[in-house]
Each structure stands twice: as C-alpha cells, then as structure tokens.
C-alpha cells in the first residue's frame, strides 16, 4: 500500500509539516525525536515520497537495513525502487531510495555510492550515533556541513543523549519535532507500561563512577552471579508467565547464564548477541517471534531497531545509569498489538550509591518509587500533583509505594525541614531550608522593615549558588558554605541591631515568620503560579 493511502497519526502529520516548515526557513540539518514504536519509518517514507531527488537512508546494523527496506518498499509501493548497498551488493543507480550501512561507507565506497546519483534527502535512522567521529566523517563527506549543501539531513532518534557525552547539537541545527513517551501512551498510540521493582543482593557501590555509565566488565562481575540470575529467572516465571519477554544482559556470558537459569525452570529462553553468525541470530529471532521461545536474552542487539510488537515484557537485568539506553530498552515493548493490553517492565535494582535508571524516572516520578505493578504514566501524574500540592516535599533514601508517598506528602510541613548541616555548623542565624532549592533567611534592615535573603541552587557549572536579596541577584558562589558566610559577613557590617534581627529568637518574628516562610516556599517552588523560581 503506498504511503499516500496510509492513515497517518496526527503527530506523524505534525512531524512531517514541522520538517517541511523548517526547510522553508532555510534549515538543512534537522532532528526528529520520537519514542520507540511511534512509527518514524512511516514519517520518513512519506518524506521520501515527497522528495524530488533521490533519498539515502543510513542505518547501523544489517538487520536494520533489511527492516528499513521492507517498510519503505511497503509504504512507497511497487512504483518506486528501494535498494540496499552493503558488502558486495550494489544498489540500483535509479533507485528512489538507497539504504546503506553507515559503517561500510569508507571513503572509496562513499564516492561510488554518490557517483551518478542526485541525492537530496539523507535520512539518518537511530541518529544518536551521529556525533561519533567515524559517523561525522561520513556526514562531512556527504557534504551535509558544506554551505553549498542543497539537500536535507534528517535524523530520527528516540533519545538525544549519548553515552560518551557528545551532543547532537554538533550535528543537527534544530530539533524540529518531539513527542515524549508519556504523551504518546496517554494519547493511546503506545502501550501502557506497568512496572515491578525487584531488589537484589548485588552490590554496585564499589564500581567506578566515572563516565556516563558503568564499565561492562566491572558490572558483569558484580551482577553475573548465580543467586541474582536465579532471582531474575524466578521473577520472570512468576510475573511474566504468559508474556513474550526481551531480557537485557551485560555480557554474552551473563546472557548465557540467564538463559540457562530460565530454561532450568522450564521457561524456554534463547540468546542473541552481536558476535553470532547472522543466520543463527536470524533463526533465533524467528523462533522467538513464532512463540517457540518465551524469553530472548540479548546483549546490545535488540536495544534499537528491533521491531516485534508482540513483546509484552522487558526484563532489565542490566543496570544502567544512562536514561537514553534505558528508554531504548523499555521501548522494545511499547508497540501496540492485537490483544496486548500493556507491557510489563521488570527492573532488577542493585545496591548503588549512584543513580540507577528505572521505569518511574521516565515518567517524572522518583526513582525510589516501587510501582508494584501499577501503571507508570498514572503514577507520574500522581507524583506531579503531589509536588504541586506539597511544594518542597522530597523523599529520603529508601523504597516507597505510591500510597506510602501520598501519606508522607499529606503530613509534610516544609517549615519543619532541618537546615543543611553545613549551614548550621558555620552560622548561628535563623537560616531555614528550602529543600533541594537552597536556604533562606529573614532579617530587619531597619525597624518595621523585613528583608529576605535566599541562597538558591542553580544548574550552572562553577559558581552555582546564587545569593538574592529581596529577589535581586547579588552574587554567585561555588559552595553553599561560602555563600552563607558572605551573607553573614554583610549582616555584621550593618551593625549589632541588624545581626540580632537575624537570630531565631528575635522578637519581631513572633506571629509573622511562618507566613513569610510559606510565602517564600510558594514563590520558589511555583505553587499557585504554575512555575518554579527560575
């Protein structure tokens, strides 16, 4: 069926119009960010049909080449040729769309691909890889960064974050369209996600904290242990008995051990990894799709580009600190499918002093939340309402169910928060806590007049503590302690009477201090205004 006959979802139509509008404004390197399962192939198929010149599609793995060609050919119909360029296979010169592996485009091969073709649209699938040096080289050789470039470079990704910290702003000029996972779930275009948090006995506290994620060798040593693997297998058996499941492991050995543990319980499990021969990997995935295997254990093979809407459970046996990687893994289960009501996410949580990704964080909820099988999107909405109704409420360390969080929030009084220990150690004044936002102090510069000093945490690097006096920025400091000491010094310069007004027992505070603090809380946290202090 040609794409013109397909029914586009509203957001797909919006994305197409956003791309066309950006080109009319003169932008050439464009980025579309949509969660897995949103149908980005439908979007770029429509754009390929609209393109007046030939189209080059860049992908990263061989499976993705064939998958892209199949979908594009189905969408464009038999009138347009969709060809693949890989290995010894050469794409037809007159093909409307040429699908290539970007890794195979060394300088000589790239020249052959471009020779005799008039390419006007370059589509980069899973383009969060684009900032890597080798991929940037290919894009430069394609002319995408040249002032004389008359075509369009269009990237599609589910995540704009990379593990090496390089930003896609080095490649693309503008994110022209973006929709979030919660939005598309709430609109009914992706499957609802329910989550379970399963605590393990594994300890990640000694692992290296440098970089965006764990080192795989260290991580595997910490989690690839018999007790944990058995827990993963039992949890899948008990919680996902009738669900086709994708399991993410750290290393090939880890995946193999997990498959062994599952099969020992009678849960049919297979294994795929990048080092497998292509035909063996294809057969294993075919068996999984056919229902001959319930669980597919994998190592970085099914993270992106794998399309099987029948998957209704994702088991995260691989801890990660990368929200981009986590979102890609979870995305394997978000596609809609007949008879599929939702997708279950099993988070196996190890002891760690570092922040581990989990399903709640994708929906703006705290990582400490134990969903206990509840809907993650609904939990995210409840959490946002809690923050609005109870400004300053924060969870301490630990694990909490949603009802437990609601009870704690209902009894929360922001004025009972303890002032930062570091502040109490250096100042005798009546500083009070603003939670994660910082600290504040009221004093009287003169009789009958009350002033307000806030020391607020800002996202900026370096001098991140901002001192404000009566709402006006006065100075910035590298540490909270330095900011407080500077304020105390300034008070001392104003004389003993002003200093005395800054103490907790100052007579003027009686009857007014609580109202002053509550009013400040509302301003800083945005309660009643719709936004927090900038």
List C-alpha distances in Å: 470 to 4, 442, 498, 508, 521. 60, 10, 16, 18, 14
Last residue of a domain, one of 409, 435, 458: 409
Residue 399 sits in a domain whose CATH number is 3.40.50.300
398 and 363 in a single domain? The answer is yes
pLDDT at 462 over 80: no
Q: Give the integer Cα–Cα distance in Å for 188 and 18.
A: 22
pLDDT at 64 over 90: no
pLDDT at 268 over 50: yes
User: For residue 422, how far is the Cα from the chain centroid?
Assistant: 33
Tokens read off for 115: 């020779």
What pLDDT is recorded for position 6? 64
* Range scoring the smallest mean pLDDT among 97-111, 240-254, 339-353, 446-460: 97-111
209 and 247 in a single domain? The answer is yes
Alpha-carbon torsion (19, 148, 101, 86), positive or negative: positive
Q: Quickly tell me which residue has 């995260």 as its tokens.
A: 316
Band (351; pLDDT cuts 50, 70, 90): confident
Asked whether residue 159 is domain-assigned, the answer is yes
What pLDDT is recorded for position 460? 65
List C-alpha distances in Å: 274 to 247, 301, 303, 361. 15, 6, 11, 29
Residue pair 432/509 in contact by the 8 Å Cβ criterion: no
Asked whether residue 166 is domain-assigned, the answer is yes
List C-alpha distances in Å: 160 to 22, 132, 156, 178, 310. 19, 13, 9, 10, 26
Asked whether residue 41 is domain-assigned, the answer is yes
What pLDDT is recorded for position 162? 54
Top-confidence range, 185-189, 350-354, 504-508, 517-521: 185-189
212 and 228 in a single domain? The answer is yes
Q: Quickly tell me which residue has 């009914």 as its tokens.
A: 188
Residue pair 253/220 in contact by the 8 Å Cβ criterion: yes
114 and 129 in a single domain? The answer is yes
SS3 (DSSP) at 226: helix
Q: Give the integer Cα–Cα distance in Å for 40 and 123.
A: 11
Asked whether residue 533 is domain-assigned, the answer is no
DSSP one-letter code for 460: S
61 and 82 in a single domain? The answer is yes
Band (404; pLDDT cuts 50, 70, 90): very high
Count of structural domains within the chain: 3
What pLDDT is recorded for position 145? 94
131 and 203 in a single domain? The answer is no
Per-position DSSP letters for 339-390, written without gaps between them:
T---EEEEEEEEE-SS----HHHHTT--TTB--TT-BHHHHHHHHHHHHHHS
Asked whether residue 220 is domain-assigned, the answer is yes
Last residue of a domain, one of 155, 179, 203: 179
How many Cβ atoms from other residues are within 10 Å of residue 199's Cβ? 13
Last residue of a domain, one of 145, 179, 213: 179
List C-alpha distances in Å: 443 to 434, 475, 487, 494, 507. 17, 18, 11, 11, 11
pLDDT at 187 over 90: yes
225 and 347 in a single domain? The answer is yes
pLDDT at 340 over 90: yes
Residue pair 329/314 in contact by the 8 Å Cβ criterion: yes
pLDDT over 70 percentage in the chain: 94
196 and 303 in a single domain? The answer is yes
Top-confidence range, 101-110, 228-237, 381-390: 228-237
Q: Give the integer Cα–Cα distance in Å for 45 and 51.
A: 10
Top-confidence range, 41-45, 168-172, 314-318: 314-318
> Which of 191 and 435 is assigned the larger pLDDT?
191
What pLDDT is recorded for position 354? 75
Top-confidence range, 80-89, 123-132, 176-185, 201-210: 176-185
Tokens read off for 493: 């310069």
pLDDT at 196 over 90: yes
Beta strands 343-351 and 313-316, pairing class: parallel
Q: Give the integer Cα–Cα distance in Å for 494 and 485.
A: 15
**Terminal-to-terminal C-alpha distance of the chain:** 50
Band (163; pLDDT cuts 50, 70, 90): low
402 and 422 in a single domain? The answer is no
Residue pair 216/250 in contact by the 8 Å Cβ criterion: yes
Q: Quickly tell me which residue has 């013109």 as its tokens.
A: 4
The CA-CA-CA angle for residues 479, 482, 488, to 5°, reads 145
Q: CA nearest 365: which of 386, 383, 344?
A: 383
The CA-CA-CA angle for residues 198, 203, 208, to 5°, reads 125
Q: Give the integer Cα–Cα distance in Å for 104 and 102.
A: 5
How many Cβ atoms from other residues are within 10 Å of residue 407's Cβ? 12
140 and 190 in a single domain? The answer is no
Domain that holds residue 423: 415-525
Q: Give the integer Cα–Cα distance in Å for 331 and 36.
A: 5
Asked whether residue 531 is domain-assigned, the answer is no
Residue pair 170/131 in contact by the 8 Å Cβ criterion: yes
How many Cβ atoms from other residues are within 10 Å of residue 405's Cβ? 21
Provide mean pLDDT across the span 400-426.
Answer: 85
Residues pairing with 155 in the sheet:
31, 124
Asked whether residue 534 is domain-assigned, the answer is no
What pLDDT is recorded for position 62? 73
172 and 190 in a single domain? The answer is no
135 and 242 in a single domain? The answer is no
Total residues found in the chain within this entry: 534
List C-alpha distances in Å: 478 to 309, 436, 457, 490. 50, 16, 10, 18
SS3 (DSSP) at 84: strand
Tokens read off for 415: 């004025």
Asked whether residue 532 is domain-assigned, the answer is no
Angle between helices 376-389 and 402-410 (to 10 degrees): 10
């Amino acid at each position: 069926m040609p794409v013109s006959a397909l029914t586009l979802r509203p957001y797909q139509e919006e994305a197409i119009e956003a791309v066309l509008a950006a080109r009319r404004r003169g932008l050439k390197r464009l980025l579309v960010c949509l969660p897995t399962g949103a149908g980005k192939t439908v979007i770029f198929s429509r754009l390929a049909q609209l393109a007046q010149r030939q189209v080059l599609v860049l992908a990263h793995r061989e499976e993705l080449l064939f998958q892209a060609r199949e979908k594009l050919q189905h969408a464009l119909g038999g009138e347009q040729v969709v060809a693949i360029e890989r290995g010894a296979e050469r794409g037809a010169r007159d093909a409307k769309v040429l699908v290539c592996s970007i890794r195979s485009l060394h300088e000589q091969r790239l020249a052959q691909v471009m020779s005799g073709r008039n390419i006007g649209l370059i589509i980069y699938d899973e383009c969060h890889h684009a900032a890597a040096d080798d991929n940037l080289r290919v894009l430069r050789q394609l002319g995408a960064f040249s002032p004389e470039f008359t075509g369009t470079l269009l990237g599609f990704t589910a995540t704009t974050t990379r593990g090496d910290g390089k930003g896609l702003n080095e490649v693309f000029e503008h994110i022209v369209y973006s929709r979030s996972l919660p939005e598309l779930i709430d609109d009914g275009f992706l499957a609802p996600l329910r989550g379970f948090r399963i605590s393990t006995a594994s300890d990640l506290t000694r692992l290296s904290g440098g970089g965006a994620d764990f080192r795989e060798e260290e991580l595997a040593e910490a989690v690839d242990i018999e007790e944990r693997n058995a827990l993963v297998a039992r949890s899948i058996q008990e919680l996902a008995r009738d669900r086709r499941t994708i399991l993410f492991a750290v290393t090939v050995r880890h995946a193999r051990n997990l498959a062994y543990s599952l099969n020992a319980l009678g849960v049919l499990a297979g294994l795929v990894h990048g080092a497998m021969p292509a035909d063996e990997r294809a057969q294993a995935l075919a068996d999984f799709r056919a229902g001959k295997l319930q669980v597919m254990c994998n190592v970085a093979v099914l993270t992106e580009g794998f399309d099987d809407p029948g998957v209704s459970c994702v088991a995260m046996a691989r801890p990660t600190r990368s929200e981009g990687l986590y979102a890609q893994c979870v995305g394997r289960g978000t596609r809609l499918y007949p008879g599929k009501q939702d997708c279950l996410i099993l988070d196996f949580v190890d002891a760690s002093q570092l922040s581990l990704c989990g399903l709640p964080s994708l929906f703006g909820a705290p990582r400490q939340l134990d969903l206990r099988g509840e809907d993650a999107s609904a939990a995210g909405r409840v959490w946002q309402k809690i923050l609005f109704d109870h400004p300053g409420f924060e969870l301490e360390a630990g694990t909490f169910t949603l009802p437990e969080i609601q009870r704690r929030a209902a009894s929360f009084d922001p004025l009972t928060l303890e002032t930062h220990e570091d502040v109490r150690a250096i100042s005798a004044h009546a500083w009070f806590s603003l939670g994660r936002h910082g600290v504040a102090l009221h004093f009287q510069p003169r009789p009958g007049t009350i002033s307000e000093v806030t020391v607020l945490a800002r996202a900026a690097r370096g001098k991140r503590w901002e001192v404000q006096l009566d709402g006006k920025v006065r100075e910035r400091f590298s540490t909270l302690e330095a900011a407080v000491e500077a304020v105390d010094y300034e008070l001392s310069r104003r004389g003993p009477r002003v200093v005395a007004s800054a103490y907790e027992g100052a007579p003027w505070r009686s009857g007014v201090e609580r109202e002053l603090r509550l009013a400040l809380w509302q301003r800083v946290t945005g309660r009643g205004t719709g936004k927090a202090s900038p």
